[in-house]
A and B are shown apart, each in its own frame.
Chain A
Amino acid sequence: MNVSFQPYPATLVAIESLHNDVRVFTFDHQQAMTVQPGQFAEIILPGIGGFPVSACGYVTAGTFQACIRRAGRVTSALFRCTIGDCVGVRGPFGNGFHLPDLARKDVLLIAGGLGIAPIRALLQSVVGGAARSVTLFYGARRAAELLFLPELEALAERGSLCLRLAVEEPLEAICSPQRWHSGPVTDLVDALPSSTATLLVAVCGPPQMYAVLLEKLATTGITAAHIFATLERRMRCGVGECGHCVAGGHYVCTEGPVFSLAQLRQMPGAIA
């Protein structure tokens, strides 16, 4: 584990705006480190502050890509940066997703809101792999807030991904009812096939989503050890020293942020 507080220098090499307050930033850090799906790094603007952020995908060795919402002081400062600016990066931190052997398994990914960021990284790593099928349930309040839609739809057109989208606004007639649903993303779980023994599930979304969703998944018969969720907490150090990220007696930064439902059940208070 890297407990040095010394950041790697990194250059901002690409910025893509996805929505008003959400952009994809690509940083070139030239280090031999890769932030795996579900892991995170700290982006530091020297003299201003730092914040933890998940990898949202893989570009090339020596780069880190993150999908970031302008949420407060430091993220706002990042939004004022332009290509060529220098920042600091620390990491990688956390365990990342470790799905068991995917052969003859069906992978179900569920994302709510900005939770799509780490789920997209995981999706990139499982699509075209050993899994029998890959499904994504993705929800947002409004259709305009769904991120990465063109690339997700392209994957679906090619048959690599079964895509279901949920928005909490009335749908217009043009939407295809097989793909679109009006209501919370948790509703989509009701339509799961009756045989769920082969399913591996990974979930990322806002805290309120977990309370309903995870146990609902378990009632469909998926074993709790095959349901994975990534927890968000306030994080400062990323290395199990600063105490901020603790949930249910565990350090989310080092033992997580990905936990199975079986683990979460042993962590009182971890899911609200």
Chain B
Amino acid sequence: MRFLNLDETTRPRIFALLSAVCDTLTADRADDGTVCWHPALSWPESDVRLTTVPLKTMLVPHREIVWSEQPSVDVRHPRALLGVPVCDLAAIAQLDRVFAADPFWQRQRHNLFLVGASCLSDAECFCSPWSGLPPCDLFAEAGRLWLVSPRAEELFARYDLPGGESADGPVLPLGHAVQKQDSPFVQSVPEADLLDLVAARCLGCGVCSAVCPTCHCFDLRDSVDDVGDVSRLRVWDSCQFVGHGRVAGGHNFRPRQQDRLHCRLEHKLQGFGPDHEEALCVGCGRCARSCPAGLGLRQILASARQARQ
């Protein structure tokens, strides 16, 4: 894989080249303490920061028109995100599969230029055992900017920037000292009844799904605007809401909070679909940071383990 040297002299040039073709954004802490994507003024110097709300918001927004009588023109600019942590890249790879045939996802995805970067862990996150570099365009690591995607190669091919080539590619974060028994990736979903105690603490607020980079439930809502134009929107939903599994006539396929927690754990630890081949959790730790009841994925599994003993 080819790389460009990333140092004091090349950074401004690389940044200028990228800014010429797209809006460049970097994650920064706002006054209210949340971390969001902000316009970048230069190549980010600081460590990678995990945004409070994951990248999926840029691809499946919280509310999005999927059909309307009055076709609208999409004027979204291409954007480059500088410094996407590996867990968020892995999450996008998971959702790429879910939305493989979705024209809205595909359009936004094409407009997003992802610059991944190695990051430092904190107390809540737990990198999954990555099996390779998830799809991205560029990857910044230890003074090198790897040209991962063909379009990144193409973009920089015209310019004479110092760099080199290496068969190994970038070194990914190795994960960190998560106790093996504590790692969600080696655990199966506890039976719903073991989740009783945990469920009693859960508020059913759905924050865990909103902040999870691989949760993708949505509802379809129909709306009529002031002048009578009709449209269909998709709006984020959560399997933690009581109505998620309820059908006409009142029957609810997931009536209790433990049933709904079970549903979430199943998605995170095994995935849905024919294969169940892969955990959808990417270990970003957002659920643990955001849950008002302290029920991150690892905390839930630990409580269920205690209940079993």
Contacts and interface: CB of A to CB of B under 8 A. Distances in A.
Interface string A241-252: 111101101110
A205 B276 CA distance: 28
A244 B245 contact: yes
Contacts of A244: 217, 219, 237, 244-245
A110 B249 CA distance: 22
Most B Cβ at <10 Å: residue of A232, A237, A243, A247: A243
Interface stretch (A24-32, A42-50, A149-157, A186-194): A42-50
Interface string A1-24: 101111100000000000000000
A241 B218 contact: yes
A239 interface: yes
A246 B274 contact: no
A46 B251 contact: no
A112 to B, nearest CB: 14
A104 B157 CA distance: 67
Nearest to B229: A47
Given A239-B101, A241-B99, A241-B216, A6 B67 contact: yes
Contacts of B271: 249
Nearest to A70: B248
A3 B60 CA distance: 14
B196 interface: no
Contact of B222 (A1, A46, A72, A234): A46
A68 to B, nearest CB: 11
A233 interface: yes
A236 B220 contact: yes
A206 B239 CA distance: 23
A71 interface: yes
Given A240-B273, A242-B218, A71 B245 contact: no
B102 to A, nearest CB: 5
B102 A241 contact: yes
B224 interface: yes
Contacts of A223: none
Contacts of A106: none
Given A237-B218, A240-B98, A255 B232 contact: no
A56 B101 CA distance: 28
A75 B248 contact: yes
Contacts of B244: 234, 244
Contacts of B232: 5, 44, 50
Contacts of A207: 251, 253
A71 B248 contact: yes
B68 to A, nearest CB: 10
B96 interface: no
Contacts of B101: 1, 3, 239
Nearest to B247: A234
Contacts of A234: 244-247, 253
Q: Indicate the member of B69, B221, B253, B270 with the most A CB atoms within 10 Å.
A: B253
Contacts of B15: none
Contact of A71 (B220, B249, B262, B270): B249
A255 B274 CA distance: 7
A251 B67 contact: no
A106 to B, nearest CB: 30
A135 B227 CA distance: 55
Interface in B230-282: 230, 232, 234, 237, 239, 244-249, 251, 253, 259, 262-263, 266-267, 270-274, 276
B274 A250 contact: yes
A240 B97 CA distance: 11
Interface string B111-123: 0000000000000
Contacts of A236: 218-220
B162 interface: no
B66 interface: yes
B253 A247 contact: yes
In the A-B complex, the 5 residue pairs with the smallest Cβ-Cβ separation, listed nearest first, are A71-B248, A243-B217, A5-B66, A47-B230, A3-B101
25 contacts: A5-B232, A6-B67, A46-B222, A47-B222, A47-B230, A50-B232, A71-B249, A232-B247, A234-B246, A236-B220, A237-B218, A239-B101, A241-B102, A241-B218, A242-B216, A242-B219, A243-B216, A243-B218, A243-B267, A244-B245, A246-B272, A249-B272, A249-B276, A250-B272, A251-B272
Given A234-B244, A242-B234, A269-B262, 20 more contacts: A1-B101, A3-B102, A5-B67, A46-B69, A47-B222, A47-B223, A51-B248, A71-B248, A237-B218, A239-B101, A242-B216, A242-B217, A242-B218, A244-B245, A246-B263, A246-B266, A246-B267, A249-B273, A250-B272, A251-B273
